[in-house]
Amino acid sequence: MSNALANAVCQRCQARFAPAERIVNSNGELYHEHCFVCAQCFRPFPEGLFYEFIIGRVIKAMNNNWHPGCFRCELCDVELADLGFVKNAG
């Protein structure tokens, strides 16, 4: 462990890291591997996979949450956030 990490603490539990411990770095914040969990269900993430919360306006459609700019028509790429839409059967 480098000197820079010798005094580092986990963002969740505030404890220090053991010398040979695996550390998760998420946007510059450090976590013990077991402390880096989903904020909704508190379960660990599958290896290398996690999602950030959508901050601000959220579109809830088709059993999912979308950034307004990401909720688009698959055919013409028009933003649908403020428009009506119909899901195509295909």
Find tokens 């269900």 and name the residue.
Answer: 41
Q: Do 5 and 28 reside in the same domain of the chain?
A: yes
Q: How far apart are the first and last CA of the chain?
A: 52
Identify whether 73 is part of a domain. yes
CA pair distance 36, 64, nearest whole angstrom? 23
pLDDT digits (tens, 9 = 90+) for 34-44: 898 887 778 88
The number of domains in the chain is: 2
Q: Do 38 and 3 reside in the same domain of the chain?
A: yes
Task: State which residues form the domain around 21.
Answer: 1-44
Identify whether 49 is part of a domain. no
- How much is the pTM? 0.53
pLDDT digits (tens, 9 = 90+) for 56-65: 888 888 888 8
Q: Do 5 and 33 reside in the same domain of the chain?
A: yes
CATH code, 29: 2.10.110.10
Three-class secondary structure assignment of 4-65:
HHHCCECCCCCCECCCCCCEEEECCEEEECCCCECCCCCCECCCCCCCCCCCCCCEEECCEE
CA pair distance 6, 18, nearest whole angstrom? 9
Q: Do 89 and 69 reside in the same domain of the chain?
A: yes
